Amino acid sequence: MSYGKILKIYVMGNDPRSLKSVELVNWTGQAFIGRRDHLSLVRQRNELSEPGVYLLLGETSEDGGAIDIYIGESDSFSDRLSNHVQTKDFWTQFVVFVSKDKNLTKAHVKYLERELYLLSKKSIGILTVKNSVEPSGASLPESDIAAMSEFLENMIF
């Protein structure tokens, strides 16, 4: 028997374009979806000063409508986003994934960053990857690879 999934979306404000928190019920991960102008809201969220993996997304690329994407990881997304607002001008939106139980480590997010990068590189014509360097990833124990593979599946969902 196949079951559906339940997403809980919280819009942080009265405008549907406000910063959003997205949770998949019974998963320890949490996504935040926002725009470039949400930097002050991002700084107010304690969850976003934890390790996370993120995507910066541009509207369209000059090469036929592919979406520009940059994949990154950070110990503190709010600090990293401040830098990206100043140094990367192609993006208009972001998605960041963190752990609700503070169980993602630097090695976990480096592993996830590389896996997302490799998936993105396979989507020729749909995504234009803006990373100038291929992420190195991280060496994880077998049990952590299994856990991060499941985390990645939920991220993709």
Q: Are 130 and 62 in contact (CB under 8 A)?
A: no
Residues near 74 by beta carbon (within 8 Å), at least 6 away in sequence: 51, 52, 54, 80, 109
Residue 90, C-beta contacts closer than 8 angstroms, at least 6 positions apart: 56, 58, 68, 70, 130
3-state helix vs strand vs coil in the chain, percent to 5:
35, 25, 40
Confidence class for position 2, pLDDT limits 50, 70, 90? confident
Residue 36 is encoded by which pair of tokens? 């470039």
Q: What is the pTM of this model?
A: 0.92
Residue 53 is predicted with a pLDDT of 98
Which range, of 8-12, 32-36, 126-130, 145-149, averages the lowest pLDDT?
126-130
